Structure 1
Amino acid sequence: MKHLSPKEAWTWLQAETERRRALGQEPPLFVDVRMEIESLYVGRPPGVENIPWYEYPDLTPDPERFAQAVAREAGAKDRPLLLICRSGKRTLDAAKALEAAGFTDVQHVLHGFEGELNEHFHRSTLNGWRHDGLPWEQM
């Protein structure tokens, strides 16, 4: 697993997409592992595919189910993957599950979409995708 800052992840995603398209290959699969409601209402990077690591109401990860869902979307276990979550913590477990399931090229976004909490328990003030001014959308 590679650990990329949000800006590194965005640069990598764009370059790898261009490189793979020039070779006639599928671009990297960008996966948001947050619950669907988080992705929709908090915001998300454009072009990301939402495949939750866990979902409401049970909030319990099912690594096998998750890996199968990613495999269906990716089409091949050697397709590059970029994972993002709220703070960069869920993606660590999700990436480990994917590697255990045979995925060979997994990256995750350090600090995630919203970043770490500051001293006032607010996100998007210290680091993260949104803090770094990278493209995002909100429903």
Structure 2
Amino acid sequence: MDHLTPKQTYQYLKDNPDAVFVDCRSEMEYMFVGHPVGSMMVPWYDGADWELNTHFVGQVKRIAGANFEKRPIVLICRSGNRTLEAGDALEKAGFKHVINVLHGFEGELDPNHHRNTLSGWRVDGLPWEQY
């Protein structure tokens, strides 16, 4: 698995339009916190009980298409931790080029236990939307 900062990821996505950009946060996070423009939601954990999405790999395969193992898959989550588990599952399923977005969408906790202040997609001023 490769690791890129949000700004490096943004440039990578511009340079590699065949890459699949997957936001693996929950549906609630994706909709209400916001998400990077162009990302597709495929939760790793979701629901009220924070259940593992046992269909995650299959859903990403469907999005990536017939040559899924060769297409770059870029994963983003809240802080860059969930993507490590999700990326590992994809690699075990045969995906050859998985990229983890370091610091995720909201970044690490600051000394006051807040996100969106130190790092992450939003802090770096990259395009995002909310609905």
Deviations 1:20-66 (A, max 9, x none): xxxxxxx110000001110111011111000000111231324x521
Aligned to 2:38: 47
Distance (Å, rounded) in 2 between the aligned partners of 1:58 and 1:67: 20
1:71 aligns with 2:54: no
Give the number of the structure whose residues are more often strand, by fraction.
Answer: 2
Q: Size of the alignment, in residue pairs?
A: 129
SS in 1 for 2:100: strand
Q: Flag as ranges the 4+ runs of structure 1 deviating above 3 A.
A: none
Aligned to 1:106: 98
Q: Which amino acid aligns with 2:73?
A: L
TM superposition score normalised by structure 2: 0.95
Taking every aligned residue pair, what percent have the same amino acid on both sides? 52
SS in 2 for 1:8: helix
Distance (Å, rounded) in 2 between the aligned partners of 1:31 and 1:84: 6
Aligned to 1:115: 107
Superposition RMSD in Å: 1.0
> For residues 1-139 of structure 1, what are the structure 2 equivalents within 5 Å?
1-17=1-17, 27-62=18-53, 64-75=54-65, 76-139=68-131
In structure 1, runs of 5+ residues without a counterpart are 18-26
Distance (Å, rounded) in 2 between the aligned partners of 1:101 and 1:61: 16
TM superposition score normalised by structure 1: 0.89
Distance (Å, rounded) in 2 between the aligned partners of 1:100 and 1:5: 24
